[in-house]
Amino acid sequence: MTDSESFLNTIAIANMPANAGSSSGIAAESGSGTEIDKSTKAIRDRYRIRFGKTGLLRWIGHHDLQRLWERLLRRCELRLSMSGGFHPKPRINFPSALALGVEGLDEVVEIELSQSLCVDELRLRLIQDGQPGLAIGEVICMGTADGTGVGAAMTPGVGKAKLHSSEYEIEIPAGFDLELIDRSLNRALSLDTISMERKAKSTVTLSIAEVFSSIERRGNLLHLTQLEIDGPSIKVADLLDIIGLSELVPSGATIRRTRVHLTDESSRSKATFQRHAHGT
């Protein structure tokens, strides 16, 4: 099978509709231990799911990824909690969108269900769906709500997922000039600010230290830690262009986000900018 055929097969499975009637979910299985009978009130439970988005799936955009997850959840016969208003939508939240073409090994999505399901059963259903390029990791139940729709976090002080920082790595292709990379990193670390033009032809100026808390080479890997900031930010691919490493990706390198850190995971002090230029 060619890459094009594999990609089309991936998209076809992602768009596969749920079985007839599955959008309303499934009935509770008495005595199965899977469904937890709370009450006759409306249920609204929130789950946090870690997942990987790799292979050909990295070439679908964020909106397509949102639709993929909605279809996946319906194929798994899950009752989705819907928003109110004239155009109700399933409550599916991504704390951070992944740039097109970037692999994610530790992405996060939060979903809300109108059924109470143990996390092991939910994870099993997601894995058994078999979506190509989607690897299901940890599943946690983060919160619950009663029939009034008012939620109570199971972990005190924990709300919806918010991004704190992201870790990236880029494997340097064999034969690529490591001295060029080190010079480019030194140049990046010597700059106080960087400027770039947006599509609207407006210029955005950012402080490198405020956006990237760490930029370094470790052998044949580039490691970057990007902080979430208020207002405009910069993509890793844009940073590579600015510091003179635009040929890395065309030469075969893949940008991977290896870890997503959320604000509620642990208390953190303000990151200190680490000026690492040379690998060990």
Same fold, 3-14+35-153 and 163-275: yes
Return the domain boundaries, the chain.
3-14+35-153, 163-275
Fold of 163-275: Alpha-Beta Plaits (3.30.70)
The DSSP H or E segment spanning 212 is strand 212-218
The type of residue at 129 is: D
Can you list the pairs that 276-279 forms with residues at least 24 positions away whose Cβ atoms lie under 8 Å? 276/185, 276/189, 276/214, 276/215, 276/216, 276/217, 277/182, 277/185, 277/186, 277/189, 277/216, 277/217, 278/182, 278/185, 278/217, 279/178, 279/182, 279/216, 279/217, 279/218, 279/219
What are the pLDDT tens digits along the chain (280 aa)?
A: 555 455 445 555 555 554 433 333 333 333 334 444 444 467 889 999 999 999 999 999 999 999 999 999 999 999 999 988 888 999 999 999 999 999 999 999 999 999 989 999 999 999 999 999 999 999 999 988 755 555 555 555 567 899 999 999 999 999 999 999 999 999 888 888 888 777 766 788 888 888 999 999 999 999 999 999 988 888 999 899 988 999 999 999 999 999 999 998 854 333 332 333 334 3
Q: Tell me the residue type at 173.
A: P
Q: Does domain 3-14+35-153 have CATH number 3.30.70.580?
A: yes
